[in-house]
Amino acid sequence: MFRRLLGVACAAFIAVSAHAQEVKWSEVLAKARGQTVNFNAWAGDEKTNAFIQWAGEEVGKRYGVKINHVKLKDTAEAVTRVVAEKAAGRNSGGTVDLIWINGPNFLALKQQGLLHGPFTQALPNYARVDTTGIRSNVVDFTIPVDGLESPWRRAQIVFVYDSKRVSDAPRSVPEMLAWAKRHPGRLTHPSVRNFLGSTFLKQALYGATPGAPGGFTILNKPLQSASFAGVVHITEPAAPGDATYHLIAVPLPYLALLLALPPVAWLVTTLRHRHRRRAGCCANCGYDLRATSGRCPECGANAPAAGTMAAA
């Protein structure tokens, strides 16, 4: 899991990207000295906040650049600000320089052409980034990065167990699932409200599908345009002894039509009853009740009191 850094309007990076292959890093550092960088980053973790503060102090000491940590509750706050400033015609000097970004927000900014770059090839340390073995360094949220964002940290979840009490510790997601079933209530993971918790569950889903780990799972299969032409039922066997996995994809228009049937039926029935009452007929079966009082002789439904027909 990578923490990504995305440049939006940082002057130092602007100086680089126009001639990324020509500008020397020493020139970038010279232009950056004395500037302030507004680093918009999620502030929900004290250790990460402390790290950003320490790194900012080091950048100030070494390069004369002030790092201002703009603390966010949600990354979307900074994205909304960038979009609003662009809509207001502010094409330079924005309030957002760098963003600790995630996949969906990266996609939103890239689609609107609001990202600065490419800038990664101008970063000296980017030569140490594995862009071959770790595909998430070049593809984010299924979208090519194209040099518009760079990883800055990597986080991992480590499960700790007591070897004196646990002799059969699981080594994979399927083994973890089986172990949890054998020992109810003894395996815990971070809450889904936490970034690591939700990420772990996504990884667990991936690892528990047929073909994992390392195989070509059902989640790797691309959806084709034809997949949305009708209901698709994909069946794939799991490991021997396990249940078979079924994936049913229903096009959104079909689902919308299905959900619309009850309210449409209610509306048709209501209008039909109203029309029958105004015509002096039984709302239930349509029998003419203008000369009838009490119950409808046709279906037995209660007939309106005399005089209410005309009023309706």
Cα-Cα-Cα-Cα dihedral of 191, 192, 194, 198, to 10°?
130
Number of residues in the chain: 312
Domain boundaries, the chain: 2-154, 156-208, 216-250, 253-311
| Sign of the dihedral through C-alpha 111, 117, 121, 127 | negative
Question: Hey, what CATH topology would domain 2-154 get?
Answer: D-Maltodextrin-Binding Protein; domain 2 (3.40.190)
pLDDT of residue 205: 80
Quick one: the chain helix, strand, coil %, rounded to 5?
40, 15, 45
Q: Classify the phi-psi angles of 211: left when phi > 0, otherwise alpha if psi is within -120 to 50, otherwise beta.
A: left
Asked which of 20-24, 186-190, 205-209, 248-252 is least confident by mean pLDDT, the reply is 20-24
pLDDT of residue 17: 39
Return the SS3 of 91: coil
pLDDT of residue 307: 45
pLDDT of residue 24: 82
Widest Cα–Cα separation across the chain: 100
Q: Cα(78)–Cα(73) distance, rounded to whole angstroms?
A: 10
pTM over 0.85: no
C-beta neighbour count of 18 within 10 angstroms: 10
Highest mean pLDDT pick, 10-19, 66-75, 135-144, 220-229: 66-75
Per-residue pLDDT of 185-240, as tens digits, reads 888 888 887 777 888 888 888 777 766 555 555 666 665 655 555 555 555 544 44
Q: What is the DSSP letter of 36?
A: E
pLDDT of residue 248: 66
- Name the pLDDT band for 249 (thresholds 50, 70, 90): low
Residue 54 has pLDDT above 90, yes or no: yes
Q: Exposure string (b/e) for 200-235, b if CB count within 10 Å is 16 or more?
A: beeebebbbbbbbeeeebeeeeeeeeeeeeeeeeee
Per-residue pLDDT of 154-171, as tens digits, reads 777 788 899 999 888 898
pLDDT of residue 51: 93
Return the SS3 of 215: coil
Per-residue pLDDT of 254-308, as tens digits, reads 778 888 899 999 999 889 888 888 888 888 888 887 777 777 887 877 766 544 4
Tokens linked to 278: 């105004």
Cα-flanking dihedrals φ and ψ of residue 61, to 5°? -65, -45
pLDDT of residue 215: 52
Residue 37 has pLDDT above 90, yes or no: yes
Q: What is the DSSP letter of 303?
A: P
Residue 1 has pLDDT above 50, yes or no: no
pLDDT of residue 191: 83
Of 147, 153, 142, nearest in space to 131 by CA: 147
pLDDT of residue 61: 95
Per-residue pLDDT of 116-149, as tens digits, reads 888 888 888 888 998 888 878 888 877 888 999 9
User: In terms of DSSP bridges, do strands 232-236 and 245-249 run parallel, antiparallel, or are they unpaired?
Assistant: antiparallel
